[in-house]
Amino acid sequence: MQTYPANLDATGLRLAVVVARFNHLISARLLDGARSAFLDNGGREDDLHIAWVPGAFEIPQAARLLAISGRYDAIVTLGSVIRGGTPHFDYVCDGVTDGVREVMRETAVPVAFGVLTVNDIEQAMDRAGGCEGNKGADVTLAAIEMANLLPALAKPPSADGS
């Protein structure tokens, strides 16, 4: 039996973060969480590149270009879509979730999804460093894990099973 252990060591990894400026207060907190998770796990500040975009709807386009550049081991996407009184919420949510999924399928570069989809600002604050932790940090750990796992999966196993 062969098991691929979870590896959260960010040493040597290059990470790009695409972050939406819309609801800036939330985004800034998510970005703080992402940065801390990367640096606390061995990543270097020089290997962390940040791309701000206007809103969540623009995230997939920027993430796609960063992924196909071949410069990054993983991409982290951050933002928040807060439900209002119009169907706009659903369109933006669908656009960003479908778009990010498509980038992962097309490029095979891990793209972690850290876009909050919430009913109100309080829920967003809870998940951006409040009582429910920091989603930016959580998804960065997922990005690191996938960036380490995918090359290991692609490599033929050696005779000793390592």
Residues marked active site are found at 88
Q: Does position 113 bind ligand INI by CB under 6 A?
A: no
Q: Which parts of 38-77 interact with ligand INI (CB under 6 A)?
A: 54-58
For residue 137 the two structure tokens come to 């940090």
Which residue has the CB atom at the shortest distance from ligand INI? 55
Alpha helices in 10-159 (DSSP H): 24-40, 59-68, 88-107, 121-127, 135-154
Q: Whose Cβ is closer to ligand INI: residue 48's or residue 53's?
A: 53
Q: Whose Cβ is closer to ligand INI: residue 12's or residue 84's?
A: 84
Tally Cβ neighbours within 10 Å of residue 16. Answer: 25
Nearest partner of 36 among 129, 124, 131, 126, judged by Cα: 129
The C-alpha atoms of residue 58 and residue 51 are separated, in whole angstroms, by: 11
Q: Does position 133 bind ligand INI by CB under 6 A?
A: no
Q: Which residues bind ligand INI (CB under 6 A)?
A: 20, 22-23, 54-58, 79-82, 84, 88-89, 92
